[in-house]
Amino acid sequence: MKCILALAAMLTALGAVAAESPPKADLAKAQNIVNQTCAACHGSDGNSQIAVNPKLAGQIPEYIYKQLTNFKAETGKKAERDNAVMAGMVAGLSTEDMHGLAAYFAGQTAKPGAAKSKELVALGQRIYRGGIASEGVAACASCHGPNGAGMPSQYPRLSGQHAEYIAAQLKAFRSGARANDASASMRGVAGRLSDREIEAVADYIAGLR
């Protein structure tokens, strides 16, 4: 009896969660926006072919949504993530559009990438898996997952991302040019990495799957 009561309570709780969740994302509308606007740089399936434009396929949806809102500047304020290109892209998007786009790209299948530097990849792997103890750098795997798949909802997927894009973001966190990471978690990590270490870990991530 106790057991049945507990089950009933659980089902009620689940029902309450379902009732509060946002309306279903409008994927058809998202697909339209992607084809008209985003595909040119990110690819229609989110597998960007150009190294400065991040791949979005298979990315954690909450992370995509957060970035889209961060690119948007409120009147009189700087955007939390300052990027001239993306600021223009999000200016006309509604909250619903952003949820739809996040769901659309999250639902695409990411194509794997490859590491390029034989010489640096071992160093990159060491940093990714174990961090750098002497510098107080935490293992990337502890937040982004052992295979770089990310962890819902706050830690983005990294595996297979363009090395050039990863390196650029690490340098932006290091200099503080990108400062939209909650609790400065990435600024703390990147601030202790040398150029060579950034290059190595970015190359390793590009080949992660």
| Binder of ligand HEC out of 68, 106, 149, 206 (CB under 6 A) | 68
| Binder of ligand HEC out of 27, 73, 86, 179 (CB under 6 A) | 86
**Residues 107, 189: Cα–Cα separation, whole Å:** 29
Cα–Cα distances (Å) from 102 to 46, 54, 132, 198, in that order, read: 11, 14, 33, 28
| Binder of ligand HEC out of 25, 47, 54, 187 (CB under 6 A) | 54
Name the token pair of 7. Answer: 């089950």
The residue among 119 and 171 lying less far from ligand HEC, judged by its C-beta, is 171
Residues 172-191 that bind ligand HEC (CB under 6 A): 180-181, 185-186, 189
Contact 63, 51 (CB under 8 A): no
Binding of ligand HEC by 143 (CB under 6 A): yes
**Residues 37, 169: Cα–Cα separation, whole Å:** 23
Closest CA to 104 of 56, 63, 72: 56
Q: Which residues bind ligand HEC (CB under 6 A)?
A: 33, 37-38, 40-42, 52-54, 56, 64, 66-68, 83, 85-86, 89, 101, 127, 137-138, 140, 142-144, 154-156, 158, 166, 168-170, 180-181, 185-186, 189, 201
